[in-house]
Structure 1
């Protein structure tokens, strides 16, 4: 899920009648005056921690978090964030010039390099939050102290649905010696805001955190139909690597829904 957020956040409690930006199942994103509120009974509360960490350790443009509300069960119910200017890349793409596309790819390359320069010692969200896998069905677990534990988590959620004849080959692809780096986990065009040839924001850090170095590639390549020739541009900020992992995860994800 990705959203547009207002530019000048109000520090006080919003009082205006809310305007709905997005609503899906029990989740919603609404504008209240100059604030945006993401709300729902099943939010991943680590999104706020991820955003704060990225804001403090990179120059990546992200929404500033103002407040997080929790229910009596301790789960995150609402996150108050900035509005960020720009248009989702998947909507802006048809009208962009080749120079603008190249410029956006250059911005993304810079931001991805910053993420991959952040090295971790566990697998999970910021502040030792849970790792989350899946796209249409999300599963949380951990945090995990090493990649072997993470792999076992992957297999426990997916392998029961994989035909027996393919289990052996599917599991052998996953190694345990990848570097752990900070990862957005959903660098799809819908989560990238642009203005002309400039990236103005990267949104939706709900599934972000410390993951094996191939994880960003797996997630970015999973949305290859988003815009025409998107993969050619992905190659500019995520140069081709981890082919085995991408193919293996694409296969396993087929059985994970």
Structure 2
């Protein structure tokens, strides 16, 4: 504990040292702090640390413990958390045999089921926070008390040039009778760390929250290309379901920004 407190006191100095950068994408950086901690910094969503704590308290899903959240001008700019060892699944995939791949898929299925057992009464991030949608860029909205309100938000993303006929079909592609469950919202191979043939961590919960039960499926099925046989194992993680919703969202995404 003493070493962690010492490391926390030097975060400002450490996050400015390029040689300790572990990952960098757009305006977010993950920097190593000693051997046990990392700092995720940049323009972060305010609910990400709260989500990690919520998952740790309500599931057995391996996620990093959060030790510190730093705010500036009402914006979260840094989260200090555990360093999670392991190799990204997309990078380890070629070294795994079919049995190992299937075992990992089944383990992920059990973790996703834990999320789906958590039921919500609004649509949005924890505590509560905004939804994150959008195809090419992230679009924040809500939180929403009903699925009808959430659907109106989705329909509001249709590009202005779309003819009324397509707007008509898009409106009828959405329904309002789904359970609201906790959702990672970005299930993809690079979000998983593996070690010893098992899942060591599930990362990147910034888009997570309470969403209609089909949402995890339509978001996960965007990632068919990272590995040639990934779709085969994705069907074990999220067995085919919500076909109508998938087709409807695919259509809506074609005419939305």
For normalisation by structure 1, the TM-score amounts to 0.90
Separation in 1, partners of 2:173, 2:208: 23
Aligned to 2:220: 220
Aligned to 2:40: 38
Distance 1:10 1:255, change over 3 A: farther
Any unmatched runs of 5+ in structure 2?
Answer: none
Contact 1:96 1:196 (8 Å CA) reproduced: no
Contact 2:115 2:183 (8 Å CA) reproduced: yes
C-alpha RMSD over aligned residues: 1.7
Aligned to 2:76: 76
Separation in 2, partners of 1:158, 1:189: 29
Contact 1:100 1:196 (8 Å CA) reproduced: no
Any unmatched runs of 5+ in structure 1?
Answer: 1-8
Aligned to 2:26: 25
Aligned to 2:209: 209
| Greater shift in the superposed pair: 115-124 or 24-33 | 24-33
Aligned to 1:47: 48
Whether 2:229 is the aligned partner of 1:235: answer no
| Greater shift in the superposed pair: 229-238 or 55-64 | 229-238
Q: Shift of residue 84 of structure 1?
A: 0.9
Distance 1:86 1:207, change over 3 A: same
The alignment of Structure 1 onto Structure 2 pairs a total of residues equal to 247
Aligned to 2:108: 108
Distance 1:232 1:220, change over 3 A: same
Contact 2:135 2:256 (8 Å CA) reproduced: no
Structure whose alpha-carbon radius of gyration is higher? 2
Separation in 2, partners of 1:135, 1:82: 31
Separation in 1, partners of 2:256, 2:38: 32
Moved over 4 A (4+): none
Separation in 2, partners of 1:101, 1:64: 27
Distance 1:161 1:23, change over 3 A: farther
Q: Shift of residue 39 of structure 1?
A: 1.0
Contact 1:61 1:201 (8 Å CA) reproduced: yes
Separation in 2, partners of 1:197, 1:135: 33
| Greater shift in the superposed pair: 175-184 or 136-145 | 136-145
Q: Shift of residue 106 of structure 1?
A: 1.2
Q: Secondary structure at the match of 1:128?
A: coil
Contact 1:99 1:197 (8 Å CA) reproduced: no
Aligned to 1:5: none
Separation in 2, partners of 1:158, 1:195: 42
Distance 1:49 1:247, change over 3 A: same
Distance 1:37 1:136, change over 3 A: farther
Aligned to 2:174: 174
| Greater shift in the superposed pair: 153-162 or 94-103 | 153-162
Whether 2:240 is the aligned partner of 1:246: answer no
For normalisation by structure 2, the TM-score amounts to 0.90
| Greater shift in the superposed pair: 20-29 or 149-158 | 20-29
Q: Secondary structure at the match of 1:108?
A: helix
Q: Shift of residue 24 of structure 1?
A: 3.0
Q: Secondary structure at the match of 1:149?
A: helix
Aligned to 1:10: 4
Q: Secondary structure at the match of 1:158?
A: coil
Distance 1:159 1:32, change over 3 A: same
Whether 2:152 is the aligned partner of 1:158: answer no
Whether 2:116 is the aligned partner of 1:95: answer no
